[in-house]
Amino acid sequence: MLDPERKNPAVPIEGNQAAALEELHTPPMRLQFGPSHPATHGTVKITLDLEGEQVVWSDVEVGYLHRGFEKECETGYYYQNIPYTDRLNYSSPILNNTGYCMAVEKLFGIAPPERCNYIRTIGCELSRMADHMLCIGASAMELAAFTPMLYLIEGRELILDMVDSLCGARVTTNFVRIGGISANMPENFPEFARPRLDRALKLFEDADKLLTENPVFRQRMEGTGYLSRDDLIAWGVTGPMLRAGGEPYDVRKVHPYLVYGELDFDVPVGEHSDNFDRYLVRLEEFRQSRRIILQCLERMPDGPVDADDPRVRWPGKGRVFNRMEELIDQFKLVTEGGMPPAGEVYHAVEAANGELGFYIVSDGTGKPWKCRCRAPSFSNMSPLSKMITGGQLADVVPTFGMINMIGGECDR
């Protein structure tokens, strides 16, 4: 029953079956899957041509959530665009904040202090955990397994509690600033976080127990959505999907940023490159993220959280209230924005779904000339049509679920 070698069942129609089809004169049935379908956790339209249950042609249409993020960024100061990046991948917003701010910092040539990097790392990994929980829970629910979703949402709430105590909001975090973070970590955060991390892990293990050995879940995940490693790379797929194909490409390891170079964690890779391996990779990444957070909490250094750079970081309010120079500085920074030198940078971070890059072109004014977001979901979605064509109709749902397309990021 559980044949690990089962690949994408692209069975050519031949022999008796072809003769039968010839006789029956059934034209392919056109099925519009979406834009709002209960089995897709994102607004996307998939047009399918079906021969019986087999998909013979498909077309994927995105863009239902296009809001003009890049156009909006061109008209705002650098600091004003940070809240918009929350809305890119709304299940792991701190990762987007960090990616954007690090790109702008690279433009300015600022290195934030150590403590800031540690807190950012904690925020990033919390976001990654929340994203994987939501991805696995939603995918399981689309395959009619409702209980794991409840456990995972409960665990995700615990993680969002921690995000909430860091920055005062659960989803629209607006946490990271250019050259710093919006607020220092609360003193009692380690004591607050550890029991919650343990409890979230327990709930996660429960969902794991429910799903990993479940024969229905495994039959629908194993062997479906197969794409070879070379195809994955050629189609620009990154993140857990690429790692499930056996390629250990992880920006955190390949181009270490923040404090990932000093931490001890593993990159999970799969070997079958199907949906079940993508699921297993996400399971393992969740555990590794928890490991990273515990290490960060242990090693958390003292010190300032903001880079002492008057070009970008607003002066502390204590000085703004009482001193003329800082008051003027505050007015200048708010009304003109920080002015980076002209030039262009690309900076990438490893988001929950793959490489999230920001390409910023500056003309020397306070507003970016161009702010491009290289969204992982967008590139990961592009081979979807290739992955589902030739398979069964029922395989579309787990494949789409394991791509974990986030509309806000894919459509920007």
Q: Please enumerate in sequence order all residues whose Cβ is within 8 A of that of 20, keeping only pairs 6 or more positions apart, or say none.
A: none
∠ at Cα 399 (396, 400), nearest 5°?
80
Which of 210, 294, 297, 300 touches another protein by CB under 8 A?
A: 210
Q: Rule CB under 8 A: say whether 213 interacts with another protein.
A: yes
d(CA 99, CA 255): 13
Contact 124, 288 (CB under 8 A): no
Residues 41-80 that bind another protein (CB under 8 A): 61-63, 66, 68, 70-72, 74-76, 79-80
Q: Rule CB under 8 A: say whether 378 interacts with another protein.
A: yes
Instruction: Considering only the C-alpha atoms of the chain, give the largest distance between any 2 of them, rounded to a whole number of Å.
Output: 89
- Only one of the segments 10-18, 90-98, 380-388, 400-408 lies at the binding site for another protein (rule: CB under 8 A); that segment is 380-388
Q: Which residue lies nearer to another protein by CB, 16 or 188? A: 188
Q: Which residue lies nearer to another protein by CB, 13 or 334? A: 334
Residues 101-120 that bind another protein (CB under 8 A): 106-107, 109
For the bound state, the minimum distance from the C-beta of residue 382 to another protein, rounded and expressed in Å, comes to 4
* Class of residue 74 by CB neighbours under 10 A (exposed 0-12, middle 13-18, buried 19+): middle
Q: Which residue lies nearer to another protein by CB, 17 or 382? A: 382
Q: Which residues of 360-372 are buried (b: 16+ CB within 10 A; e: fewer)?
A: bbbeeebbbeebb
- Is cis: bond before 35, omega within 30 of 0? yes
Q: Which residue lies nearer to another protein by CB, 138 or 166? A: 166
Q: How many CB atoms lie within 10 A of CB 12?
A: 8
- Name the 3-class secondary structure at 245: coil
- Only one of the segments 9-17, 19-27, 258-266, 393-401 lies at the binding site for another protein (rule: CB under 8 A); that segment is 258-266
Q: DSSP string covering 319-377, please?
A: HHHH-HHHHHHHHHHHHH---PPSEEEEEEEEETTEEEEEEEEE-SSSSEEEEEEE-HH
Q: Rule CB under 8 A: say whether 325 interacts with another protein.
A: no
Q: Which residue lies nearer to another protein by CB, 11 or 30? A: 30
For the bound state, the minimum distance from the C-beta of residue 213 to another protein, rounded and expressed in Å, comes to 5
Residues 11-30 that bind another protein (CB under 8 A): none
Q: Rule CB under 8 A: say whether 323 interacts with another protein.
A: no
- Name the 3-class secondary structure at 33: strand
Q: Rule CB under 8 A: say whether 151 interacts with another protein.
A: yes
Question: Tokens 């456990």 — which residue?
Answer: 151
DSSP H or E stretch at residue 149: helix 146-167
Which of 1, 14, 16, 24 touches another protein by CB under 8 A?
A: 1
Residues 177-206 that bind another protein (CB under 8 A): 180, 182-184, 186, 206
Q: Rule CB under 8 A: say whether 142 interacts with another protein.
A: no
Strands 180-181 and 176-177: antiparallel
- Only one of the segments 6-14, 19-27, 125-133, 366-374 lies at the binding site for another protein (rule: CB under 8 A); that segment is 366-374
For the bound state, the minimum distance from the C-beta of residue 285 to another protein, rounded and expressed in Å, comes to 10
Residues recorded for the chain: 412
- Only one of the segments 50-58, 92-100, 240-248, 392-400 lies at the binding site for another protein (rule: CB under 8 A); that segment is 240-248
Q: Rule CB under 8 A: say whether 248 interacts with another protein.
A: yes
Q: Which residue lies nearer to another protein by CB, 131 or 277? A: 277
Q: Rule CB under 8 A: say whether 259 interacts with another protein.
A: no
- Only one of the segments 89-97, 127-135, 381-389, 400-408 lies at the binding site for another protein (rule: CB under 8 A); that segment is 381-389
d(CA 377, CA 384): 11
- Only one of the segments 18-26, 134-142, 294-302, 319-327 lies at the binding site for another protein (rule: CB under 8 A); that segment is 319-327
Contact 311, 55 (CB under 8 A): no
Q: Rule CB under 8 A: say whether 214 interacts with another protein.
A: yes
d(CA 279, CA 153): 17
CA distances (Å), origin 48, targets 44, 301, 406: 13, 54, 21
Which of 152, 159, 200, 283 touches another protein by CB under 8 A?
A: 283
Q: Rule CB under 8 A: say whether 134 interacts with another protein.
A: no
Q: How many residues bind another protein (CB under 8 A)?
A: 120
Q: Which residue lies nearer to another protein by CB, 10 or 13? A: 10
Which of 42, 112, 179, 270 touches another protein by CB under 8 A?
A: 270
d(CA 412, CA 407): 8
